[in-house]
Amino acid sequence: MMELFDLKGKRALITGGTHGLGMAMAEGLGRAGAGLVITGTTPSKMEKALEHYARCGYEASGYIFDVTDEEEARKYISVIEKEAGPVDILVNNAGIIKREMALDMTVEDFRRVIEVDLVGPFIMSRLVASGMIERGGGKIINICSMMSELGRDNVSAYAAAKGGLKMLTRNLATEWARYNIQVNGIGPGYFATSQTAPIRVKGNPFNDFIVSRTPAGRWGDPEDLAGATVFLASKASDFVNGQVLYVDGGILATIGKPLNEP
């Protein structure tokens, strides 16, 4: 039974894997036996992350590049495939957010979020897919969001990008199923990471709102994502394609409850 989830002999490339959700998903894949290739943007964080992966006993290598720069990404994918080996699993995790009301957000900021959160996965998926096609298949996992389904104040660019990423997932699944590539998404709810640190402070009403809006009654722990990641990276999901698996403590299942209800 467990061989369905066994990733021994597989190699996973996780963008933005130096900390946060990317690191937690990489650790899950490592625990299931996959070799890890992580990308990042900050050399000091990369150094710390590689030490951490080595301490945990995972085979891991790291590369610093910007996923929005197609030429740079192409160069690095070919270096990665030569140095580390072919990529069987791609996790498009790198992402940014800008919190500003639409009327105040600059077009430049809007474009940058779309570039990193939507164009980046498009660039990375195509570059990695060509090798997957030659080798007979692969797995691509796009990290979506509650904002793939819902709006809220301040996050128009992010919601547009993550909603787009959900549809990119479905479209690539459609085009690449014929090559035995499964393209799926994970939609994390609200998780405690550096991205949410500014809204997770005690006393900020948004902090209490998230806890009360989440049926599980808490922020997600990055480790909560490991199981979904291993599932979508493994043989167990070979006939699952174009889906977004929401790991959200139940947020999308409910309309919420009145403030005065316990």
Ligand X SMILES: NC(=O)c1ccc[n+]([C@@H]2O[C@H](COP(=O)([O-])OP(=O)(O)OC[C@H]3O[C@@H](n4cnc5c(N)ncnc54)[C@H](O)[C@@H]3O)[C@@H](O)[C@H]2O)c1
The angle subtended at Cα 6 by Cα 170 and Cα 78, nearest 5°, is 60
Cβ at position 35, least distance to ligand X in Å: 19
Establish if 237 lies at the interface with ligand X (CB under 6 A): no
Q: How far apart are CA 13 and CA 125, in angstroms?
A: 11
4 neighbors 236 (Cβ within 8 angstroms): yes
C-alpha span between 260 and 218 (Å, rounded): 18
Window 28-67: contact mask with ligand X (x via CB under 6 A): -----------xxx------------------------xx
Candidate residues 10, 11, 19, 213; the one interacting with ligand X per rule CB under 6 A: 19
Active site residue 158: yes
Q: Does 21 bind ligand X (CB under 6 A)?
A: yes
Of 158, 179, 190, 246, catalytic: 158
- Report the site for ligand GCO in 90-119 (rule: CB under 6 A): 97, 99
Closer to ligand X at the Cβ: 11 or 45? 45
At 233 the three-state DSSP class reads helix
Counting Cβ atoms within 10 Å, is residue 170 exposed (0-12), middle (13-18) or buried (19+)? middle
Options 17-25, 100-108, 175-183, 202-210: segment touching ligand X (CB under 6 A): 17-25
Residue 57 near residue 50, CB atoms below 8 Å: no
Q: Which stretch binds ligand X (CB under 6 A): 18-26, 169-177, 226-234, 238-246?
A: 18-26
Place of tokens 């809007």: 110
Name which position in 74, 75, 111, 152 contacts ligand GCO (CB under 6 A).
152
Question: So which residues are the catalytic ones?
Answer: 158
